[in-house]
Structure 1
Amino acid sequence: MAEDVRRPIPPYPEQHQDPPGKTESMQPIPDHGEQSYKGDGKLQGKVALITGADSGIGKAVAIAFAREGADIVISYLSEDDDARDTARWVEEAGRKAIVIAGDIKSEDHCRSLVQRTIDQFGRIDILVNNAAFQRTYADIGDISAEEWDETFRTNIYAPFYLSKAAVPRMKSGSAIINTTSIQSRQPSPQLLAYASTKGAVSNFTAGLAEMVAERGIRVNAVAPGPIWTPLIPSTMPPEKAAKFGQQTLIGRAGQPAELAGAYVLLASELGSYMTGAVIPVTGGEIMI
């Protein structure tokens, strides 16, 4: 299989970072669609709030949405340099960007994110619940109650908090997109906490879609397989990160840019007849 320089095939150099990781320290640097994604106005005039938009999938979605015509609220934890770089790409696309740091485990912060979106742009059309937390463990006895709680509060409480705050402010035709995972259906034992939350995200997606259908709001999810983001070298042993994604039919990890089209589909009129759905983007791994 020929190697694309933007989509390199493992093995990668062995590497490790402290969580949550920095894009600039990764080898290779992920492709977020900076050079490849071309938009044509599918989201013209829309406003999107994207969590975890400083890097990885969230950054790729922010770039794609901006090139489709949307203004972007970039929610992130503390990675200021990465967030400013996302904002730069949004602004180069001719759209407005605001960056908001803070911990989405806090319901108050989630309410503030939605309110600041309304204050800045007067509307919220798209909510992308993308930010996530994970760690790897070989034994359940090594997972503390505090870490279990942090994983659930980041990965499923936050989407609940944000959706609860956003739905009353959304008009008919708006969209909520959650990032679940192949782990929701094929859990890896070393990712017990993370996989459990992603199963909950998929269920939350289906239930919320039914709950808000009468409002004209669509709720869907994207289920990535192995995607090369800062989460990987900052949470996996270096020897596993080096081989990350080799098990897929395509033989490599996906790049964040390769998921952007699925989010655009679900956010735009192209997906107007889709709600309660989960789109797998897994490199050929089957969602059982």
Structure 2
Amino acid sequence: MSSEGTASKQREIQKQVEKADKKEKPRSSGAMQAGARRYPEPPFPKVHQDKPGSEADLPLAPMYDAPFYKGSEKLKDKVALITGGDSGIGRSVAILFAREGADVAIVHLDESEDADITKAAVEKEGRKCLIIRGDVKDAGFCRTAVEKTVKQYSKLDILVNNAAFQVHAAEIEDLTDEHFDETLKTNLYGYFFMAKAAIPHLKNGSAIINTGSVTGIEGSKELLDYSMTKGGIHAFTKALSGQLVPKGIRVNAVAPGPVWTPLNPSDKEANDIEKFGGKTPMKRAAQPEEIAPAYVFLASAQMSSYITGEILPIVGGY
């Protein structure tokens, strides 16, 4: 084709695009709904809670029981220890692990009612649930939690590090030393202490799953300390996975975006919670039951035996 012909063809393409640009664009249909059931969309209830937050007291209950998820013995007779297992993502993970045939131990800080609800839900699945109350910042407690789990069930196959502390600070000057210390020790020390205590009991085929965050990938200007810890968790996951390959222990992380759990109403002010999750491409926050299957995937040797050192983002689209 001659240069003149090419130029003419390009002008025709340009005209076609200009015509298409003038078409009326379809209006947004609101939040994306592609799950087994319909999930809440903003606006969320204007609610603020004192730390550590209570799932039982939320006016809009998180959806955690995944009624359409059918178990298939992916974790048959396994034993899992889940920190922050009383509510939110941890609760949903405990239930799905039980549905897949695992007995669980859940660690919680101060939310006894939430822990009892989780225990009842696990037992409804026909499996056992041990409740352990304590602070993961304490290395001695972490050792005790592992020892109690092994004493109760005679083994340990899966560790889920999920407990977290998060409170926003608009400016670095507002982030006190005490606040910074609490975040780092809960989110980093807690993961380190639990892993260190658990690893001597884990065998070939076992798994460690850490809860990271989209803030550890993208950062969050009002969650400076929390973003630091989640980025650190991602690096810890990759580094520890390399150490444990010779032992046949896989280490991975799930990095959620906004999820409707007590963590956020006990961080943000009520007016901010109303719009929670609305800035994601899906225009809504996730529910715990939408995140928990990823933990089943990473815990199951049938599903992820060739996966270690990976960070799995579940962030509602990029």
Output the amino acid matched with 1:14: K
Output the amino acid matched with 2:315: T
1:34, 1:260 → 2: CA distance?
9
CA shift for structure 1 position 178: 0.1
Q: Deviations over 1:198-252 (max 9, x none)?
A: 0000000000000111000000000000000001111101111110000111110
2:314 corresponds to 1:284: no
Larger radius of gyration, structure 1 or 2? 2
SS at match of 1:104: coil
Q: Deviations over 1:89-113 (max 9, x none)?
A: 1101010111011011000000001
Q: Which residue of 2 aligns with 1:227?
A: 259
Output the amino acid matched with 1:282: V
Q: Deviations over 1:112-166 (max 9, x none)?
A: 0111111000110000000100001111111111111110111011110111111
Q: Which residue of 2 aligns with 1:272?
A: 305
2:255, 2:99 → 1: CA distance?
23
2:240, 2:72 → 1: CA distance?
30
CA shift for structure 1 position 37: 2.9
Q: Which residue of 2 aligns with 1:64?
A: 96
Residue 95 of structure 2 contacts residue 122 of structure 2 at CA under 8 Å; is this kept in 1?
Answer: yes
Residue 151 of structure 1 contacts residue 197 of structure 1 at CA under 8 Å; is this kept in 2?
Answer: yes
2:150 corresponds to 1:115: no
Output the amino acid matched with 1:206: K
Q: Which residue of 2 aligns with 1:102?
A: 134
Q: Which residue of 2 aligns with 1:26?
A: 58
Q: Which residue of 2 aligns with 1:124?
A: 156
CA shift for structure 1 position 33: 2.0
Q: Which residue of 2 aligns with 1:260?
A: 292
Residue 34 of structure 1 contacts residue 89 of structure 1 at CA under 8 Å; is this kept in 2?
Answer: no
Q: Which residue of 2 aligns with 1:156?
A: 188
Residue 227 of structure 1 contacts residue 256 of structure 1 at CA under 8 Å; is this kept in 2?
Answer: yes
1:171, 1:181 → 2: CA distance?
27
TM-score, normalisation: structure 2 = 0.87
CA shift for structure 1 position 6: 5.0
The percent identity for this pair of structures is 50
Residue 220 of structure 1 contacts residue 278 of structure 1 at CA under 8 Å; is this kept in 2?
Answer: yes
2:313, 2:251 → 1: CA distance?
15
CA shift for structure 1 position 24: 2.1
CA shift for structure 1 position 34: 5.0
Note the residue ranges of structure 2 that are not aligned, 5 or more in a row: 1-28
Q: Which residue of 2 aligns with 1:205?
A: 237
Q: Which residue of 2 aligns with 1:242?
A: 274
Q: Deviations over 1:6-38 (max 9, x none)?
A: 511101121111111111222321001253332
Residue 55 of structure 1 contacts residue 83 of structure 1 at CA under 8 Å; is this kept in 2?
Answer: yes
Aligned ranges 1:24-63 → 2 under 5 Å: 24-33=56-65, 35-63=67-95
Output the amino acid matched with 1:78: D
Output the amino acid matched with 1:280: P
2:216 corresponds to 1:187: no
1:70, 1:25 → 2: CA distance?
28
Note the residue ranges of structure 1 that are not aligned, 5 or more in a row: none
With 133-142 and 210-219 compared, the bigger mean Cα shift is at: 133-142
TM-score, normalisation: structure 1 = 0.96
Output the amino acid matched with 2:147: Q
Residue 30 of structure 2 contacts residue 283 of structure 2 at CA under 8 Å; is this kept in 1?
Answer: no
1:111, 1:176 → 2: CA distance?
16
1:95, 1:113 → 2: CA distance?
19
Output the amino acid matched with 1:38: K
Residue 37 of structure 1 contacts residue 257 of structure 1 at CA under 8 Å; is this kept in 2?
Answer: no
SS at match of 2:106: strand
2:30, 2:180 → 1: CA distance?
41
Aligned length: 285
